[in-house]
Chains A and B, each alone.
Chain A
Amino acid sequence: GAVVSQHPSRVICKSGTSVKIECRSLDFQATTMFWYRQFPKQSLMLMATSNEGSKATYEQGVEKDKFLINHASLTLSTLTVTSAHPEDSSFYICSASRTSVTDTQYFGPGTRLTVL
């Protein structure tokens, strides 16, 4: 159990367009989902925390209007990169926590975004 999927796995887009990334918990309900960004050979940087039915909490320095997060159900969270620019190119990874009982985070496989 505790499988998290992401879609798409890779996406290439032009500057100025928007890209949506989906994160799904396949076999459990996720009260909380997290979105991370990872640059090559670096650690994971938390972008935001989302709770089902609530507004996401963004980390300092992360533009909430640029990185739109929606946690519509207990199994789905989406990250939309709006008006993407080449500097937004990165590896985006989501994670999910089962319920309030435990806070173990299970990670998705990641999405490689390339903005031309």
Chain B
Amino acid sequence: EAGVAQSPRYKIIEKRQSVAFWCNPISGHATLYWYQQILGQGPKLLIQFQNNGVVDDSQLPKDRFSAERLKGVDSTLKIQPAKLEDSAVYLCASSLRGRDTFYEQYFGPGTRLTVT
């Protein structure tokens, strides 16, 4: 079974530029998560999708971050404009379901973003 795919694996941009990350979840997984992992910290949830609807985006900085999950499969996370403090690893995860109960989340390898 293929795991969660993410691209690119690494990205270096200058502040105020824009960047986009792509995630392809495990086939059949209805729930998709984006996490931000700053160096030395644990992952922090940015946004959770159930199919193509947003379940939780309370910690997403909506003035600069946006995410979409078209057709309930792939997802894209965008940052525009980027700030230095956005340097982090962006992790995508998926699970079978997950609105009211826990299903194991499977994580992708992440995209390491460096903002200079």
| A in complex with B | no
